[in-house]
Amino acid sequence: MSVDERAIGSLIDESSDLHRDSMHTTHASLQELVEVGREDATDRPEVHVSSAERNPLLRHGIGGGKALTALGAGGALLALMARPAFADQSSDVQMLQTATSIEILAVATYTAALALPFAGSLPKVVQTFATTTKQQHMDHQQAFSAAVRALGGQPQTKPDPVLLDVVNKAKPGLTGPVPLVELAITLEMGAAETYVAFVTTLTDKNARDTTASIMGVEAQHVAVLNAVKALVGAGHPEYITLPPPAAKLPAAAGSVGFPDAFYPYAMARPAAEGAVK
């Protein structure tokens, strides 16, 4: 495998620089969060609160989560979509709590991914990406929690229940890089599309600005993961270097990272899905 160690070192330095201003809130064990979320998802009380939502997104999400349905979470998703949101919380707070829950799950998933038996054999650039992306999601989580507090809400501490179910169902199949990258793409797309949808709905300017500043980052994660998936899937993880051997890449690799001219939001999660209950 051709890895530019100097570039990797530089990357790590860059990563440290990028997070020099990051917050240092103590986090609960991420693995514990996953376990707690799993218990919560299997023993969640029914919600009986009704609410006159101001936007269909808050009831159904945009697009109804088609891709997640395809991944096997259809039943749970449809059940959740049928639930009303919570009348005692503002829509903005609910969306920010859901965003927090998505970030919590992303952090937990990247943490678990880095501990998989084959993680050490992944291209160094991919390992660095996973580590850096995990940190970025931690920062996003804190930013969303701060936005919740700013609106007088209670920050979410649990992962998104529906996406957690997707992760748990995918776990047994995480025996190699491709399914792992596919799971990461699913989560990142879910995050990015949810935030695109939320940005169009949030009424609080700070909440909208915060969400907008994060959605593009998740979209970038998707782009990188799409490229990684293509190269790993084609049996050439050695091409995942910084810079890549551009001359060796096929023409189609030039566009595999960004398939859409307009970012979709068919996989956007319902606003109240990850709200504090």
Query: By C-alpha distance, which of 63, 41, 34 is closest to 194?
Result: 63
Q: And the tokens for 95? A: 């969306």
Query: Residue 120: is it exposed, middle or buried by C-beta count within 10 angstroms (0-12/13-18/19+)?
Result: exposed
Q: Which CB atom, from 53 or from 258, has the smaller least distance to other proteins?
A: 258
**Is residue 176 within the footprint of other proteins (CB under 8 A)?**
no
**Is residue 269 within the footprint of other proteins (CB under 8 A)?**
no
Q: Indicate which single residue of 257, 272, 274, 275 sits in contact with other proteins (rule: CB under 8 A).
A: 257
Q: Indicate which single residue of 214, 271, 272, 275 sits in contact with other proteins (rule: CB under 8 A).
A: 214
**Is residue 192 within the footprint of other proteins (CB under 8 A)?**
yes
Q: Indicate which single residue of 45, 88, 152, 205 sits in contact with other proteins (rule: CB under 8 A).
A: 205
**Is residue 60 within the footprint of other proteins (CB under 8 A)?**
no
How many other CB atoms are found less than 10 A from the CB of residue 131? 16
Q: And the tokens for 51? A: 């609410």
Q: Indicate which single residue of 2, 29, 121, 213 sits in contact with other proteins (rule: CB under 8 A).
A: 213
**Is residue 27 within the footprint of other proteins (CB under 8 A)?**
no
Enumerate residues 6+ apart whose C-beta is below 8 A from 106: 133, 134, 137, 187, 188, 191
Number of residues that bind other proteins (CB under 8 A): 68
Q: What residues from 126 to 165 belong to the interface with other proteins (CB under 8 A)?
A: 129, 132-133, 135-136, 139-140, 143
**Is residue 258 within the footprint of other proteins (CB under 8 A)?**
yes
Q: Indicate which single residue of 105, 219, 272, 276 sits in contact with other proteins (rule: CB under 8 A).
A: 219
Choices 32-40, 76-84, 156-164, 199-207; region in contact with other proteins by CB under 8 A: 199-207
Q: Indicate which single residue of 69, 151, 256, 277 sits in contact with other proteins (rule: CB under 8 A).
A: 256
Q: Residue holding tokens 């919600």? A: 47
Q: Write phi, then psi, for 249 (nearest 5 degrees).
A: -80, 140
The residue type at 195: Y
Residue count (the chain): 277
Query: By C-alpha distance, which of 68, 42, 93 is closest to 191?
Result: 68
Q: And the tokens for 105? A: 């799950």
Choices 86-94, 102-110, 160-168, 203-211; region in contact with other proteins by CB under 8 A: 203-211
d(CA 170, CA 173): 6
**Is residue 227 within the footprint of other proteins (CB under 8 A)?**
yes
Integer CA distances (angstroms), 87 to 22, 51, 55, 78, in order: 34, 5, 14, 21
Positions touching other proteins (CB under 8 A) are 7, 11, 14-15, 18-19, 22, 129, 132-133, 135-136, 139-140, 143, 192, 196, 199-200, 205, 208-209, 212-224, 227, 230-231, 233-236, 239, 242-266
